[in-house]
Amino acid sequence: MTEILRLENVSKSFGGNRAVNDVSFSLEEGEIIGLIGPNGAGKTTLVNLITGVHPLSAGKVIFAGEDVSRQQAFQAARRGLARTFQIVQPFPKMTVLENVAAGALFGGGTGSVEDALDLAHEELKFVGLDAVADTPASSLALPNRKRLELAKSLAMRPKFLLLDEVNAGLNASEIDGALDLIRKIAARGVTILIIEHLMKVVLSISQRILVLHHGELIAQGDPRTVIEDPQVVEAYLGSKFAARVKAESHHA
């Protein structure tokens, strides 16, 4: 197994507020990693640091062996570090197809606009949006907007995909659909880091879990160990929940 992403003592302060504090970890290629933590724990900020949206206050980000601590957002995209936004960010007046083509053309480094549109078609089929390819992105309902975000990121040919709460706001069956899709993406060899509040979802999909609390990484490891970690139970899960999950996983 080869390492794809490593964070070394990464910190970020906004004014006096330490949103991310001295976080270090290393991720393997091909994994699906869950990132959990209470609201305001610094999850989104961490994604922003990895993808060059915010400059680091301290520490290093190593992606595929290269120090990318000083990269800008567009450079991250071109390197194969794609992400979705917690609040979906389409190009509202463009068609769904053009939205995805933008990912292919710039992040994916496709040569011409035509090629980008072709590739966009494929990705739309992959996520199941080909029927609405020519409608404006603004007309999509939330589940499809989330899929559009995914298609856009995939068109960027990412090596690493960071998904910030892609399931938030979806109902149970929509979530199942989204999870199938995420597994399909992982099967393409893309490493995935997924931020998710629903523990059931995280546990079902992640091979490894990172837990952030007050900007600090308080636990990491395989799902079973992490949810039994007393610190995690205290900070995030609550003891009742932990007991329930434990019971459920014993039955299964």
CB of residue 47 to Mg ion, shortest distance in Å: 8
Binding mask 117-156 for other proteins (x = CB under 8 A): -----------------------------------x---x
14 lies in the site for ligand ATP, by CB under 6 A: yes
State the virtual CA torsion across 115, 121, 122, 128 in degrees, nearest 10.
160
74 lies in the site for other proteins, by CB under 8 A: yes
Quick one: what does residue 25 bind among Mg ion, ligand ATP, other proteins, none, with the CB cut-off 5 to 8 Å set by partner type? none
Q: How many CB atoms sit inside 10 A of residue 75's CB?
A: 13
Binding mask 34-53 for ligand ATP (x = CB under 6 A): ---x-xxxxxxx--------
CB of residue 19 to other proteins, shortest distance in Å: 18
Strand order in the sheet with 160-164: 81-84, 160-164, 191-195, 32-36, 208-213, 216-221
Q: Annotate 64-100 with three-state secondary structure.
A: CCEECCCCCHHHHHHHCEEEECCCCCCCCCCEHHHHH
Quick one: what does residue 238 bind among other proteins, Mg ion, ligand ATP, none, with the CB cut-off 5 to 8 Å set by partner type? none
Of the candidate residues 11, 86, 89, 207, the single one contacting ligand ATP (CB under 6 A): 86
Take residue 246 and report the two structure tokens written for it. Answer: 């434990």
Residue 11 burial class via C-beta count within 10 angstroms: exposed 0-12, middle 13-18, buried 19 and up: middle
Binding site for ligand ATP (CB under 6 A): 14, 17, 19, 37, 39-45, 86
